[in-house]
Structures are given as C-alpha cells and as structure tokens.
Structure 1
Amino acid sequence: MQKRNVAEFNDIELDQEESSEDLYERLRLIVDKGQEPIRLDKFLTARLEHASRNKIQQGIEAGKVLVNGKTVSANHKLKPGDELVMYSEKEVQGEEIVPEKMPLNIVFEDEEILIINKPVGLVVHPASGNPNGTLINGVAWYLQQQNKEINAENLPRFGLVHRIDKNTSGLMVLAKTPTAVTSLAKEFFDHTIQRKYVALVWGDVVEDEGTIEAHVGRHQRFRKLFDAYPDGEYGKEAITHYRVLERFGYVTLIECQLETGRTHQIRVHMQHLGHPLFNDDFYGGDRIVKGTVFTKYKQFVENCFEMCPRHALHAKTLGFMHPKTKKPVHFESEIPSDMASVIEKWRNYTKTRINQDK
C-alpha cells in the first residue's frame, strides 16, 4: 500500500504563489475495492506520510475529515468505495507574532468567530518588511486579554482563513476555535462564502452585468504582480461576477461577487476587462485612463487621487454558514469616507457635465 506524500494536518507550508485566500487545501481519497473493513484513523495513518495517528485523530475530531460528505469518529469503519475528503489549514509564514494593542473595528463577535472591518493601510499578517503593526498583532493582543494562555507560540495558527490587500478596506472573518477554522476553510474552499465588493473602475463598463473567467497567476516577468490567463494554461481558476451600480461616464461604480478568491483577483480581472480600478498603482489605474485632455479635467482627477490615495476597492458584504449554529449569517459595512467622497465627487462632476450639455 503506497503512502501519500502529505504533510501533517497543521503543517502545510503556504507557497509563495498561493492565493491569499487559499490558506487551506483538500485531499480526496477513495477506499480501494478490495479493502477490508478498517478504522478511519488506522486507514489514514497507513496512507499519509509524516502524519502520526494522534495527529490524525485530532484532525478527525476537529471535523477536518469527511466520509461520504459527513463528519465521523476516528473509529468509524470504512468500506470499499467510501470517499474521504481531508481539509488542512496552512500555516501562514511570517515573523513571530507579538501581541500589540491597537484599535479594532469589531463588527461582530461570539465564541466561534470574529468579524472585523479592516481599515485601509493595515497589513493583515506579519511578513518580511512588516514584522509588527498588523491586524493579527492587534487581534492577538485583543484575544490575549480574554485568554492569558494565548502567547507567541500558539498564535501563528490562529484562525486566519482569508486575507484582503493592505489597501483594500472591508470585512474579514477570523476563527476563534479549531472547529470554526475547519468549517470556514471548507466554505472558502468550496466557494460557498458570499463576498461582495464595491469598486470604482476606469471607463464606461459596456454590459450591465457579466462574469469574468480567467486564471490568475504570478506575472511571468514582474513577480510582484499578478496577471490574467484566459486560456487557463497558467495560474489558478478565477471567477468574478460583476454588475454596474452607477455610471459616471469616464468611471463606473460596480459590485463584484467573488466565486473564487485569488490574490488581487478583482484588480487583475478588471484590468483584463480593460477597466482597471481607480488609482490602482499596480495595475495601471493611477493615471488618466479615460476622459478629456483639458487641464481642468486633469486637475479634477488629481484631486480625486489625493482624496482616495489607494485603489478604490471595499469588501462590503460577507455571508456564510455559522460554524456552530449552521445557520446563515450576513454582515455588511459602509463604504469608507475616502472612497465615498470620490464617488460623490464623480457623481457631481457627471451632473455638471449633463447640465452643460443641455
């Protein structure tokens, strides 16, 4: 019987090219036709390299193993044809996490989850160049006040099941228990999480609504950037649904619903569509993409850039099945003042143009 080369449940490394929201992965096995009845934990111990029986039993108890779509006990007897699905959250690589006191905009909290409205400019997790001052540093301090047993040794695997960019504002969910981590990881992996973003993009988007399907992966020349690969020969599957909320002529306010969660997905997909995000310095939105050549217009755009000195993207809504109650929960946040001010400025500019044309 050949063992699979799979790391232990909690020790899978986050690849540099992994999506910021792919902080978990899934392994699928089918029980052989000739397999005699065998305990689940014993079967997995024989099949998985570097995974102790104790670690496997912990994973089963935490709900990270499904048999035919259901959680079972470690002593569950497998039979031929059974389908096993194993989930594993990946450890986020970075600096040691030191708790730091900082203001947190907590939208909701219970024993299982924490919903935070992340402000612009806040990095989510420590990494090279950002050893402290991140959201997780602040969350660590906050939780440490509730539980003094939390320390630097047990913080790295705190329930970070997705991330959003430093200069993207909006809602994030963090898990407070191993069960919540597993439940949310499954939802992100299976694309059942409901996430809607509001974005201001350059140009007049032709269709009122549509779907962008193009793989997203590292740019093959500029490694800090990502790019769209519509032929699907490189990168990872990425699907974004969008609809127009309001048109301002030279820019458009849209809502994007993520089906997948790849790094920079909305930013890359909208650039691919020919409509980069307003003031996105990575993907060509920090210059005048559409409009006139008049000096007044140029000054107007530059004023907008100053009002919203980041890409205009906000994670507005977040919905999922609660890890404990198994009932749907939904959270919503207001568009922050920098984006709201620019949207209103474009709205007034459009009204002025229409009045001048009459």
Structure 2
Amino acid sequence: MREFTVDRAADGRRLDALLGELTHGLPQPLLYKFLRKGRVRVNGKRVSQPGHRLQAGDRLECYLNDEFFQRPSPENAYLRVKPRFQVVYEDENILLADKYPGLLVLPDREEGVNTLEAQIQRYLYDRGEYRPGETFPPALCNRIDRWTGGIVIAAKNQPALEEMLERIRLRQVQKTYWCVVLGRLPRREGTLTGYLFKDSKKSRVYVGDSPRPGAKQAVTHYRVLRANRELSLVEARLVTGRTHQIRAQFAAAGHPLLGDGKYGREPVNRRYHQPYQALYSREVTFAFPPGEGVLQYLSGLRFQVAQVPFEKLV
C-alpha cells in the first residue's frame, strides 16, 4: 500500500489524472478496474468515480502493487512505449502482430527501448496478461528485418513458445510475402534456388549456384500477381528462411526489390520515393499434420494482414 497527501498544487484535480502521474502512466482500463474494486481510498473511503475532485489535504491510500509506482528501468522499458502494431490474431497462447516498417523486433545497439517485443509486452501489460516476475514474458517466435513489415508470431506461454519454434523448424508454418520487384519476370510462376553465403562484416548475403563452405541452400517459390512496364507485384513463399533470402535471390535474378538500399538500384528507388524495401510478410499458414499439442487447434488456419502499403504501386 502507498499513501499520499494531496498538496495545494493538486487541489481540484481529478482523481484519475493524479493517479496517472503517481503511477507513471498506469493504463486507464486497469486504473478504472482498480477504482471499481475499491483499491483506492480517499480519506479512508472507497471512491469509484475517476472524475472525483480532490482537495488539498486529502489522504490517498492506494492498494496497488509496488511496480505501478516505479519509474521505467531497462528491465521494464516497455512501460515507455505505446503499442502501435495491428493485431492480426490473438488467443490465450499466441499473438500475430502486424509490424510496421522501421520498427525493430528486438533491441540492438541503436534502439534498446521501442521495439516490437516491448510494444507487445506493453499491450499485454495493459490488458492485465503480463506481470513481470509473475507471468511468462511474451516471446517472439520469428523475426523480420527492421524495414520489412508484416506478421510476426509471439508466444504468450512457455509450452506455446516451444511448440511454435519446433513447428517452424519442421517447416509446418508457411510464410508468404508480397514484394515489388523491378522489371517483368520471365515467367508468371517459378522457383528461385541457390546457396546463400553471409558476410557478417558487410551485413550482406551473396547468392551462388553451387554449395560452398558456410553457404546454406535457399528456396523461394514465387507468383506474379500483376505487372506494368517497370514493376511487378510478386507473391513469394519461403521454403527455407535465410537472412535476406527474398531480397538477395530476386536481386541475383536481375529483379531487385524496389526501395532496397542494399541489393537494389538507388536511382529507381529515388524516382519512386520508396525509402525502404517493398517487402511485407503478408500471410501465415499453420500447416500442421494430424497430431497432438497445445497449438494443434491452429492446424489448417491461415491469417493475412488487411493491406500491404505498397501494393498500389503496380
């Protein structure tokens, strides 16, 4: 329990406004819930109205967890972010988040606070599903590049995380991307195959036709959705999931992604005012075989984002 005395500066203020400051941004739904349950008292009396006007000298008794009164630290940095992703699907085990381009999925040297991971933590915290030290911290099951948008899978509990990671490893989770590439592909449908070698120093991968030490095979099925003189809107389905796979393979085939600053053509990118690669994780299909598991109910289900930002360019 925390106790406060209303000073002259707070005379006449609403109860919910002052509590929001004292708790460093307690989510309104939780605040109203605590008021209804009598977890906040003014001068010893339960007050359930958020708009109750306070007077100087009033005594507040807050029967809330200490965590609500602590300033955000590196461990609870999620309290400093606002969820801005779209929820594609959610249940008690998983959450499918539509990440916007430019948002990191996990912290790196440049950004340690505002990440998709932190936004999901804040989203579940606001809903009362995540309590640090008490509940499982939501964990990402897959990653996409900072400037690639689209679906990322998060697990809400340990059994769901372990099973989803295993099903991804067994290629039972199919990921389909939309992208805009330069030029017209020679065939409406096809498969890109090759061996990707990653140069960590340059943060770049190279595509070869034959195996070599350190290289990994990459397979991508594609289908042209529509095309004009300069651009093609392409659906790409990953068979393997390698770093920069779609970007590197289409570039190696002579059709780099529009907006790609690493593998693309900068003059064309500038002409179309496309500041990042036109690549979006649009669809996830759970192709689980018959069996058991905490996530077996997802078998055969397919989820898509509502709209791809760049699809009207073609």
TM over 0.5: yes
Q: Is structure 2 residue 266 aligned with structure 1 residue 266?
A: no
For residue 103 of structure 2, the aligned residue among 122, 133, 144 is: 122
What percentage of residue pairs aligned between the two structures are identical? 28
| Deviation string, structure 1 residues 155-184 (Cα, Å, up to 9, x no partner) | 4xx421111111111111111111111221
Distance in 2 between the 1:142 and 1:324 partners? 25
Distance in 1 between the 2:129 and 2:227 partners? 49
Distance in 2 between the 1:268 and 1:119 partners? 21
Give the corresponding residue for 1:21: none
The number of residue pairs the alignment matches comes to 231
CA 1:324–1:208: 2 relative to 1, 3 Å = closer
Give the corresponding residue for 2:59: none
Distance in 2 between the 1:279 and 1:188 partners? 29
For residue 167 of structure 2, the aligned residue among 176, 179, 187 is: 187
Q: Point out the more displaced range, 205-214 or 138-147.
A: 138-147
Q: Partner amino acid for 1:316?
A: R
- CA deviation after TM superposition for structure 1 residue 185, in Å: 0.9
Asked whether the 8 Å contact 2:136–2:156 carries over to 1, the reply is no
- CA deviation after TM superposition for structure 1 residue 188, in Å: 1.2
Q: Is structure 2 residue 262 aligned with structure 1 residue 282?
A: yes
- CA deviation after TM superposition for structure 1 residue 96, in Å: 5.2
Q: Is structure 2 residue 77 aligned with structure 1 residue 98?
A: yes
The TM-score normalised by the length of structure 2 is 0.67
Distance in 2 between the 1:243 and 1:139 partners? 33
Q: Is structure 2 residue 203 aligned with structure 1 residue 232?
A: no
Q: Point out the more displaced range, 121-130 or 228-237.
A: 228-237
| Deviation string, structure 1 residues 26-50 (Cα, Å, up to 9, x no partner) | xxxxxxxxxxxxxxxxxxxxxxxxx
Give the corresponding residue for 1:135: 116
Where do residues 167-206 of structure 1 align in structure 2 (5 Å cutoff)? 167-206=147-186
Give the corresponding residue for 1:317: 283
For structure 2, which runs of at least 5 residues remain unmatched after alignment? Answer: 1-73, 289-293
- CA deviation after TM superposition for structure 1 residue 121, in Å: 1.0
Q: Is structure 2 residue 308 aligned with structure 1 residue 342?
A: no
Distance in 2 between the 1:314 and 1:152 partners? 35
Asked whether the 8 Å contact 1:98–1:152 carries over to 2, the reply is no
State the structure with more CA Rg. 2
Give secondary structure in 2 for the equivalent of 1:205: coil
Q: Partner amino acid for 1:219?
A: D
Q: Partner amino acid for 1:310?
A: Y
- CA deviation after TM superposition for structure 1 residue 217, in Å: 2.8
For structure 1, which runs of at least 5 residues remain unmatched after alignment? Answer: 1-94, 289-300, 344-358
- CA deviation after TM superposition for structure 1 residue 236, in Å: 1.8
Asked whether the 8 Å contact 2:151–2:305 carries over to 1, the reply is yes
Give secondary structure in 2 for the equivalent of 1:310: coil
For residue 328 of structure 1, the aligned residue among 297, 300, 309 is: 300
Distance in 2 between the 1:96 and 1:303 partners? 43
Where do residues 1-358 of structure 1 align in structure 2 (5 Å cutoff)? 98-99=77-78, 100-145=81-126, 146-147=128-129, 149-150=131-132, 155=137, 158-219=138-199, 223-233=202-212, 234-288=214-268, 302-304=270-272, 306=273, 308-320=274-286, 321=288, 323-337=295-309, 339-343=310-314
CA 1:162–1:148: 2 relative to 1, 3 Å = closer
Distance in 2 between the 1:117 and 1:247 partners? 26
Asked whether the 8 Å contact 2:117–2:139 carries over to 1, the reply is no
Distance in 1 between the 2:226 and 2:181 partners? 11
Q: CA RMSD in A?
A: 2.3
Distance in 2 between the 1:285 and 1:267 partners? 12
Asked whether the 8 Å contact 2:105–2:143 carries over to 1, the reply is yes
Q: Partner amino acid for 2:129?
A: N
Distance in 2 between the 1:284 and 1:303 partners? 13
Give secondary structure in 2 for the equivalent of 1:237: strand
CA 1:215–1:148: 2 relative to 1, 3 Å = same
Distance in 2 between the 1:104 and 1:326 partners? 22
Distance in 1 between the 2:144 and 2:75 partners? 20
| Deviation string, structure 1 residues 253-304 (Cα, Å, up to 9, x no partner) | 111000111111100111111111011001023333xxxxxxxxxxxx7452
Distance in 1 between the 2:134 and 2:117 partners? 12
| Deviation string, structure 1 residues 80-114 (Cα, Å, up to 9, x no partner) | xxxxxxxxxxxxxxx85621333231121110000
Asked whether the 8 Å contact 2:85–2:100 carries over to 1, the reply is no
Give secondary structure in 1 for the equivalent of 2:103: coil
